[in-house]
Copies of this chain bind each other. A is one copy, B any other.
């Protein structure tokens, strides 16, 4: 994740509908969701959801794949991780204050720590 990509990603996340989509797709997992289902959940028109999905795909935060008539969108976990990484990249130059809360959240994903899912 370089600065150019990060700028696009932050821009993508700075719009209500798009932030909602990303969070929905993160939760929905590798199975993803069809564009229509996303539109319904987000309560926006097909053409509008298409506009935002396209923007999110351009940012690399989500990916698409056709499945029969539907187009399935999934979160790109690697890109999201990269963005978090980018945001924290500088913080270790003497400022653990930023990393601290991140480390805290990350802790719940520790290999052995699966007991506290959700």
Contact = CB atoms under 8 A, between A and B. Distances in A.
- Interface size, A (range): 35 or more
Interface string A77-97: 110111111011111111111
Copies per assembly: 2
Interface string A1-39: 001001110110111100100010011010000000000
Nearest to A16: B7
A114 to B, nearest CB: 9
A117 B107 CA distance: 21
B106 A99 contact: yes
A18 to B, nearest CB: 9
Interface of A: 3, 6-8, 10-11, 13-16, 19, 23, 26-27, 29, 75, 77-78, 80-85, 87-110, 116-118
